[in-house]
A and B are shown apart, each in its own frame.
Chain A
Amino acid sequence: MNKATSVTLSERLTANPVILKELRGRMRGWRAFIVLTLYLLVMSSFVTLLYVAFAASTNTAYNGGSGQQIGKFVFAGTVGIELLLACFIAPAFTSGAISGERERQTFDLLRTTLLPAWSLVLGKLGSALLYTFLLFLAALPLQSLAFLLGGVEPMELAIASVLLVATAYLFGSAGVFFSSLMRRTLGATVLTYAFAIMATLGLPIAMLVMLPLTALFSYNSPGVLFQTVMIYGFGFLIMINPAATAIATEVILMEEQTYFFFTQSVYNPQTGNSIILPLVSPWLPYVGFALVFGTGLVLLSILAVRRTER
């Protein structure tokens, strides 16, 4: 007969020995407390600075909508900072995950226990992400200031949170992946940051390359196919970049009034008619991309950890 047992979240988490050990180490003593305090101090100074700068540059007496504008501005600023954290701090927590065990010479010990490779990889990634999420959660009250000022809807906050979680997962997985490949944490960190910089700055560079092509739009009257390829190509470049995704999602929200789907008409110079292209707000495909790509990296890490040395 099955006994009805309710398993709490904390029991579930601590069932993985690696998560239990990592969280014990990370939250021990004053360190976690001091890090959080410093982080919140920096974040609140940043928000204050944004507020003061914006208030000084607009004359509130004659501008009724400025409260909403400040709200949007503060919200965008905090999400921007947290996006940076997700891209560069989450991988810092994970890039030493496996290589650190190798350096400490504990990797062999773990491999001779019954701890499965997936448990080690997911435990390392999970504990790093939990700490990153704690940083996001701690900053939530600051983000919510935007609600006091107006101009931000709860749905925007929800999308921003999903975006942050997906980004932390993608970049955290990249850290674990390089850590599982490399013998040294230094090498893993270098590769992880190279990946992070490519993923965040790759788009602007690609844009610079693409810019001369867009000139074709203004001089010739380009065909439907070319325009379609350009629109979807740009969309693709945006949905693989977290910052571009965040900005484009907000722009589409303001211009198209939608969080999800919208259309764009493309003029056909040959027939004089227009065709309608279905499009999707980039945060949706971005989250899908982050989940698939991140999970791919996690699976590769598990294979690398499971592999017996030859």
Chain B
Amino acid sequence: MPTIIETKGLTKRYGPLTAVNDLSLAVEQGAIYGFVGPNGAGKTTTMRMLTTLLQPTSGEAWVAGHSVTRDQRGVRRALGYMPDFFGVYDDMTVWEYLDFFGACYEIPAATRANLIKDLLELVDLTHRRDDQVDTLSRGMKQRLCLARTLAHDPQVLILDEPASGLDPRARIEIRELLVELSRMGKTIFFSTHILADVAEICTQVGIFEAGRLVAQGGLVEMQRRLLPHRRLQITLLDKLEGAQAALLGREGVLEMKVIPPAQNGEPTTTQLLEVNFSGDDTSVSALLSHLVIQGYPVLRFTEAVHDLEDVFMHATKGIVS
């Protein structure tokens, strides 16, 4: 996949404070890239540089091949930007709002009427076409703003916290909309600190902390790299202590934990043992054989999937620049 957003050594300093430090990232065309990090990590600063609103102190960035410092018009043509605030005019109706931004993107008046119809249909706001923008709910405003960023059919969408401050239903609607847009061939680069959103829809993740990118890659690949140990869950019918003793000291076993029945959701007659294990598939298999051969009644043997929160906690140190 070709790269559509690229930064090389992108740096932004405000006096002694470094908001973005030597950031080099690459977003593949068609990706849904989740830009994750704590508040104050420099996510918005990065996005403002990518959208030509802020001059980098040093380094360079390209959107769809256009340099953000030398070809701002090319960048603006290629991307749609939604900041972390609505930016709506009071005293303006929904269609006028879209008509205005359509005109700002140099779309001829004759084609704007049809465009507005399509955009409103896409974000499901057709029934509010003639209402004042400031009477819309937060979720509707957010969808309207998303429609605005699509007016000129950009290749790339840069969205700053698109789901923040929305109720669960509105959040899911925005999330589905992003998937839909991705299906339409748009590359989506969005920042968030809601990890569930990232895990749900992202194809690429970048974890950002204190102005630095601490990890980047596909979700699965990143889990493997950042959390190399595996979490095995072994359900036994009986003889828990014996099994523990049998596993103790075996190569690859790092840590063992008995999960009490109240927490594991299993019937009280079974026992659950969680093992932190480092090793490849062969050694996992060997471990199971070892237990079975020794006569322990293994009912289930599964590997727990790490969620993104584990990855995030592992990658970041809780520093805020």
* A residues lining the B interface (CB < 8 Å): 14, 17, 20-21, 24-25, 28, 104-106, 108-115, 308-310
Residues of chain B within 8 A of A106, CB atoms compared: 87-89
A-B contact pairs, 9 of them (CB 8 A): A21-B89, A21-B92, A21-B96, A21-B103, A105-B83, A106-B89, A108-B53, A108-B81, A112-B76
The reply to whether B100 and A308 form a contact with Cβ atoms under 8 Å apart is no
Residues of chain A within 8 A of B52, CB atoms compared: 111-112, 308
Residues of chain B within 8 A of A310, CB atoms compared: 54-55
Q: How far is the CA of A28 from the CA of B91 in the complex (A)?
A: 9
Residues of chain B within 8 A of A309, CB atoms compared: 48, 53-55
Point out the residue from A21, A104, A112 that lies within 8 Å of B53, measured CB to CB. Answer: A112
- Asked if B46 is at the interface (CB within 8 A of a chain A CB), the reply is no
Distance (whole angstroms) from the CB of A69 to the closest CB of chain B: 47
Distance (whole angstroms) from the CB of A20 to the closest CB of chain B: 7
Point out the residue from B48, B87, B91, B106 that lies within 8 Å of A109, measured CB to CB. Answer: B87
The reply to whether B96 and A113 form a contact with Cβ atoms under 8 Å apart is no
Residues of chain B within 8 A of A28, CB atoms compared: 91
Residues of chain B within 8 A of A112, CB atoms compared: 51-53, 76, 79, 81
Interface centre among B83, B91, B100, B109 (most CB of A within 10 A): B100
Residues of chain B within 8 A of A114, CB atoms compared: 73, 76-77, 104-106, 152
Residues of chain B within 8 A of A104, CB atoms compared: 87-89
Distance (whole angstroms) from the CB of A239 to the closest CB of chain B: 40
Point out the residue from B51, B87, B100 that lies within 8 Å of A17, measured CB to CB. Answer: B100
- Asked if B29 is at the interface (CB within 8 A of a chain A CB), the reply is no
The reply to whether A21 and B100 form a contact with Cβ atoms under 8 Å apart is yes
Residues of chain B within 8 A of A108, CB atoms compared: 48, 53, 81, 83, 87
The reply to whether A109 and B81 form a contact with Cβ atoms under 8 Å apart is yes
- Asked if B72 is at the interface (CB within 8 A of a chain A CB), the reply is yes
- Asked if B301 is at the interface (CB within 8 A of a chain A CB), the reply is no
Residues of chain B within 8 A of A308, CB atoms compared: 52-55, 72
Residues of chain B within 8 A of A25, CB atoms compared: 89, 91-92
Residues of chain A within 8 A of B51, CB atoms compared: 112
Mark each residue of chain B from 81 to 104: 1 if its CB lies under 8 Å from any CB of chain A, else 0.
Answer: 101011111011000100011011
Residues of chain A within 8 A of B109, CB atoms compared: 14
Q: How far is the CA of A14 from the CA of B148 in the complex (A)?
A: 20
Mark each residue of chain B from 46 to 80: 1 if its CB lies under 8 Å from any CB of chain A, else 0.
Answer: 00100111110000000000000000110011010
Q: How far is the CA of A110 from the CA of B87 in the complex (A)?
A: 10
Q: How far is the CA of A309 from the CA of B55 in the complex (A)?
A: 6
Q: How far is the CA of A106 from the CA of B92 in the complex (A)?
A: 13
* B residues lining the A interface (CB < 8 Å): 48, 51-55, 72-73, 76-77, 79, 81, 83, 85-89, 91-92, 96, 100-101, 103-106, 109, 148, 152
Distance (whole angstroms) from the CB of B60 to the closest CB of chain A: 14
Residues of chain A within 8 A of B148, CB atoms compared: 109
| Chain A residue with Cβ nearest B145 | A109
The reply to whether A113 and B104 form a contact with Cβ atoms under 8 Å apart is yes
Known: A24-B96, A112-B79, A308-B53. 16 other contacts (CB 8 A): A20-B100, A20-B103, A21-B103, A24-B92, A25-B91, A104-B88, A105-B87, A108-B48, A109-B81, A109-B148, A112-B52, A112-B53, A114-B73, A114-B104, A308-B72, A309-B54
Q: How far is the CA of A108 from the CA of B45 in the complex (A)?
A: 13
Q: How far is the CA of A310 from the CA of B54 in the complex (A)?
A: 6
Interface centre among A110, A308, A310 (most CB of B within 10 A): A308
The reply to whether B103 and A17 form a contact with Cβ atoms under 8 Å apart is yes
Distance (whole angstroms) from the CB of A162 to the closest CB of chain B: 32
Q: How far is the CA of A109 from the CA of B145 in the complex (A)?
A: 10
If A308-B54, A308-B72 touch, whether A113 touches B87 (CB-CB below 8 Å) is no
Residues of chain A within 8 A of B54, CB atoms compared: 308-310
| Chain A residue with Cβ nearest B101 | A113
Residues of chain A within 8 A of B92, CB atoms compared: 21, 24-25
Q: How far is the CA of A310 from the CA of B45 in the complex (A)?
A: 11
Residues of chain B within 8 A of A115, CB atoms compared: 104
Distance (whole angstroms) from the CB of A220 to the closest CB of chain B: 61
Q: How far is the CA of A109 from the CA of B89 in the complex (A)?
A: 12
Q: How far is the CA of A145 from the CA of B81 in the complex (A)?
A: 56
The reply to whether A113 and B105 form a contact with Cβ atoms under 8 Å apart is yes
The reply to whether B104 and A110 form a contact with Cβ atoms under 8 Å apart is yes
Residues of chain A within 8 A of B72, CB atoms compared: 308
Q: How far is the CA of A112 from the CA of B151 in the complex (A)?
A: 12
Q: How far is the CA of A110 from the CA of B83 in the complex (A)?
A: 12
Residues of chain A within 8 A of B77, CB atoms compared: 114
Residues of chain A within 8 A of B55, CB atoms compared: 308-310
The reply to whether A111 and B83 form a contact with Cβ atoms under 8 Å apart is no
Distance (whole angstroms) from the CB of A5 to the closest CB of chain B: 13
Q: How far is the CA of A21 from the CA of B55 in the complex (A)?
A: 29
Distance (whole angstroms) from the CB of B285 to the closest CB of chain A: 54
| Chain A residue with Cβ nearest B86 | A105
Residues of chain A within 8 A of B104, CB atoms compared: 17, 110, 113-115
Interface centre among B92, B103, B105 (most CB of A within 10 A): B103
| Chain A residue with Cβ nearest B84 | A105
Distance (whole angstroms) from the CB of B2 to the closest CB of chain A: 23
Distance (whole angstroms) from the CB of A246 to the closest CB of chain B: 36
The reply to whether A111 and B53 form a contact with Cβ atoms under 8 Å apart is yes
Q: Which 9 A-B pairs have the closest CB atoms?
A: A17-B103, A113-B104, A115-B104, A106-B87, A105-B87, A112-B81, A21-B100, A308-B55, A109-B87
Interface centre among A28, A112, A114, A115 (most CB of B within 10 A): A112
Residues of chain B within 8 A of A14, CB atoms compared: 109
Distance (whole angstroms) from the CB of B21 to the closest CB of chain A: 17
Q: How far is the CA of A104 from the CA of B90 in the complex (A)?
A: 9
Q: How far is the CA of A115 from the CA of B72 in the complex (A)?
A: 12
Distance (whole angstroms) from the CB of A227 to the closest CB of chain B: 56
Residues of chain B within 8 A of A17, CB atoms compared: 100, 103-104
